[in-house]
Chains A and B, each alone.
Chain A
Amino acid sequence: MSPRDQAIRLVRGAVAALERSRSRIDDLNVYPVPDGDTGTNLALTARAVLEDLEGSTADDSATVAREATRAALMGARGNSGVILSQIVRGIGESLAAEESIDGPAVARVLRAGSDAAYRAVRKPVEGTMLTAIRALAEAAEAEQSRPVGELLELLVAKGEEAVARTQEQLDVLREAGVVDAGAAGLVELLRGIASVVAGQPLPDEPPVERASVEAAHQELSRFRYCTTFVIEGDLDPDALEAEYEQLGDSLLVVGDEHALKIHVHTDDPGAALAIGTHVGAIENVEIADMHRQTQARERRLLAAVPDPPPAAAGVVAVVAGTGNRRLFESLGATQIVEGGQTMNPSAAELLAAVEATKAPEALLLPNNPNIVLVSEQAVSLAAKPARVVPTTSIQAGLAALVAFNPEQSAEENEAAMVEAAARVATGAVTTASRDVQLNGRAVGVGQYVGLLEDEPVAGGAEFEPVARAIIDRLLAEPREVVTLLTGEEEPDLSRLLAELEQSNPELEIEVHEGGQPHYPLLVSAE
């Protein structure tokens, strides 16, 4: 066998092993940039070498090594690919000097690969591919008296140990609970080569349909369940394909008239199976919840992002309604005290919340005129520096919280938050607790009253006209964003929203379920 053919056999083994584990390695990728493409990049880099060799006419080992080195450099994808190309360069250059490949030669070329990789990286970081290649070189040096086949097998095991250790060497890996993707890829590559040398079957080359199944999983599907199974019977593949197309996407129907493998992303896996049982027998059913997979992956990716610096200030907010509570929390409020119009928290409760904030300073949002004074009192008793941003409504509180920046002190935040709260105009729809006169018209108990900054300006038995009057008044001035928070009784806003969108095409309209009592609707405009 010519040196070129030998090289092709080895690289094929490497490519097959990398492609097999590509998506697993993609998912490990959290360092240096957690963008989930290490497996893909390593596989593409190795494939570039393979394609180059397959098209080459070189027949001596020095030329083959030089061409492989160049192909790796030219085809290197991503950070991991660039490092791999440097390893290949070191190995290629050193291979040219070897007359035959024995244990000591393997040790020498791995050491050359390791040295080349360390030289190429500006600031070498341990717990990465670099650590793995160095561990391989060291292990090969220690065990160089073994026959090559046995040595490679041993190196795969040593490599796996090195991969496992990366988690202790790099903080971001430990936090994300993964091992280093590049290091894992390097060991897969070696596994592929070792199995070729050992004369064992190649690691399963992914069959075509399998590869596309994996590719399909990298997409974010609109559908929830990845459903795969086999149907056996007397089948019409085209008809079945047409039927499954109605159910979802990422469809693959592979096989023949007697047995078909079905893969579909759908919200209704039951229906997918029912189609199968209708025409034959089904087996090997696998249903995976992709939303959960995606969420798990996103959590891992986010966990890899270094923690933001500890907050300089925390926010305590007085809030009524579970939806509103979620809104405040999502904007960064750290402590929520339940309260509002008819349930005013005590100074002691507020003080406890201020003291409970983890940050060294605190801001307090009373969100109700009746709670401002008691908030001032709580703050004056607090051991840590704290400020009240005297918001008198949930809407103003949210506007203030948007301006909150956890990296800044309470004092710096106070100014920005007061300003933001002042910029927002507010309105509300409530029900009259007693008979009132409004613009010469009587509004009875239980009827709707529209408030503009706490002043009653509209009233009536129907919700919609009152809400409409309030919103119109708020939009009398130029506004960019209108926010609607629905109360416990969840009024129907559909007609109102449709009208609003039509008459104000430029306006951003945001609706949330606030869940507050007494106020079917809270409105803000800014």
Chain B
Amino acid sequence: MDLTAANTAIVVDSTADFPQAPERYPNWRIVPLYVRFGQESFRDYVELGPADFYTRLRSSAVVPTTSQPTPGDFHAAYQELGEYERVYSLHIAGTLSGTVESARAAAADFGDRIRVVDTETASAAVAMLGLAIQRRLERGTTDEEVEELVGRHRRESQLIFTLDTLDYLARGGRIGRAAAWAGGLMRVKPILTIRDGEVIPIKRVRGNQRAFQEFIAAFESGSSDGPGLRVAIADADAPDRTEALRELVGRTRPQADLELVATLGPVIGTHAGPGTVGLFWFADE
């Protein structure tokens, strides 16, 4: 079957942190997760945007929690996409969230039409996979080519991020191997990555500038310059850090395509905490 942007849809969950996708691409849909403050539940981005979320996070005595979409949420999205012959449903790592399980439970009712993908990564990296598929759809592609791309994205897409504190990650139960660094008395910035869906500690430093030097060192050794080098930057309520990083990225890989500058939404923000910054890259065509 020939897949095109006219007959193939892309569904991502809201943790891809790409809220503008449906405006830009008519064949995209976003299914929101939920963020809860005590008894109040909000649909990620839809009922609570990043700006209001971080304001609330700073002032709230209640620690927010998050919840995956219901299978019904996915069911509704898949149904709405009835005119599309194929749907690629791309989701945050199953080790970090049950979202992909909800998607699978809903997809079971639609036979082979829906392809649910555990991307084994998170945030802008998921959006970047969607964008890479979209580029192929726009020139015409096949399931085989998309599946090959998905596999290569799992192996080769890279991300590095730093937090102001490990507390949020620990509280939400997503700290993984970085637990060895939790509970320090000194303010240090952990530099982390996600590999096979697991949070992996890379290095600790003090101060943002040092953290960015580490980012750039990893970026430089893990990429080569060219227009096919796709890059994204995302921050949680720290736009000045994104600006600083954007400049460094431009200087390091001037030809790279910075395809996404994102704000981490309420759900990812709940687990990473304010001040988080991430750099994502993937060598595509």
Contacts and interface: CB of A to CB of B under 8 A. Distances in A.
Interface of A: 30, 32-37, 41, 73-79, 81-82, 85-86, 120-122, 215, 218-222, 249, 298, 301-302, 304-306, 308-309, 311, 326-327, 330-332, 398-399, 402-407, 416, 420, 480-481, 483, 508, 510, 512, 526
B255 interface: no
B65 A309 contact: no
B102 interface: yes
A82 B186 contact: no
B38 interface: yes
Given A402-B188, A403-B203, A301 B173 contact: yes
Contacts of B206: 399, 402, 480-481, 508, 526
Interface string B44-69: 00000000000000000111011110
Contact of B71 (A74, A122, A218, A512): A74
B195 interface: no
Give the 5 A-B residue pairs with the shortest CB-CB distance, closest first. Answer: A74-B72, A480-B207, A34-B173, A79-B98, A330-B185
Interface of B: 34, 38-39, 61-63, 65-68, 70-73, 75, 96-98, 101-102, 104-106, 108, 170-177, 179-188, 201-210
A73 B170 CA distance: 30
Contact of B102 (A37, A82, A249, A309): A82
Given A219-B38, A326-B185, A480-B209, A76 B65 contact: no
22 contacts: A41-B67, A74-B72, A74-B73, A74-B75, A75-B70, A76-B71, A78-B68, A121-B101, A122-B104, A221-B61, A249-B61, A298-B170, A301-B173, A304-B173, A305-B176, A306-B176, A309-B177, A398-B186, A407-B177, A480-B207, A481-B207, A512-B185
Given A73-B72, A76-B72, A219 B61 contact: yes
Contact of B61 (A77, A120, A222): A222
B63 A77 contact: no
Contacts of A298: 170-171
Contacts of A81: 70
Most chain A CB inside 10 Å of its own CB: which residue of B34, B75, B175, B188: B188
A305 B39 contact: no
Contacts of B207: 480-481, 508, 526
A32 to B, nearest CB: 7
A516 to B, nearest CB: 16
B62 A220 contact: yes
A308 B210 CA distance: 25
Contact of B179 (A121, A220, A302): A302
A44 to B, nearest CB: 8
Contact of A78 (B67, B170, B180, B182): B67
Contacts of A85: 71, 105
Given A76-B72, A481-B206, A526-B206, A219 B63 contact: yes
Contact of A76 (B105, B201, B204): B105
B188 to A, nearest CB: 5
Contact of B186 (A33, A301, A330): A330
Contacts of B61: 219-222, 249
Contacts of B186: 327, 330-331, 398, 402, 483, 510, 512
- The SS class assigned to the B binding surface is mixed
B71 A35 contact: no
A36 B65 contact: yes
Given A82-B71, A508-B207, A302 B170 contact: yes
Contacts of B185: 326-327, 330-331, 512
A121 B101 CA distance: 8
Most chain B CB inside 10 Å of its own CB: which residue of A37, A78, A398, A405: A78
Contacts of A420: 205
B71 A73 contact: yes
Given A215-B39, A327-B186, A76 B203 contact: no
A308 B179 contact: yes
B174 A33 contact: yes
Contacts of B184: 330-331
Given A75-B72, A86-B105, A218 B173 contact: no
Given A402-B206, A416-B203, A510-B187, 12 more contacts: A77-B70, A79-B101, A82-B71, A302-B182, A305-B173, A308-B177, A330-B183, A402-B188, A403-B203, A480-B206, A481-B187, A526-B207
Given A305-B175, A406-B180, A82 B98 contact: yes
A439 to B, nearest CB: 32
A178 to B, nearest CB: 13
A33 B205 CA distance: 28
A37 B97 CA distance: 13
Contacts of B170: 298, 301-302, 305
A66 B223 CA distance: 53
A74 B179 contact: no
Contacts of B63: 219-220
A33 B97 contact: yes
A480 B101 contact: no
Contacts of A301: 170-171, 173
Contacts of B65: 35-37
B103 to A, nearest CB: 10
Most chain B CB inside 10 Å of its own CB: which residue of A35, A219, A221, A327: A35
A403 B70 contact: no
Nearest to B183: A330
A219 B40 CA distance: 12
Contact of A33 (B96, B182, B203): B96
Contacts of B203: 403, 405, 416
Contacts of B38: 215, 218-219
A395 to B, nearest CB: 11
Nearest to B188: A402
A483 B186 CA distance: 9
A37 B175 CA distance: 17
B180 A332 contact: yes
A308 B180 contact: yes
A288 B38 CA distance: 20
Contacts of B180: 308, 311, 332, 406-407
A306 B173 CA distance: 11
Contact of B201 (A74, A75, A302, A407): A407
A171 to B, nearest CB: 16
Contacts of B177: 308-309, 407
Given A82-B98, A86-B105, A33 B70 contact: no
A77 B65 CA distance: 13
B62 A219 contact: yes
Contacts of A403: 203-205
Nearest to B173: A34
A399 B205 CA distance: 9
Contacts of B173: 30, 33-36, 301, 304-305
Contacts of B202: 405
Contacts of B176: 305-306
A78 B98 contact: yes
A122 B75 CA distance: 19
A508 B205 CA distance: 13
Contacts of A121: 101
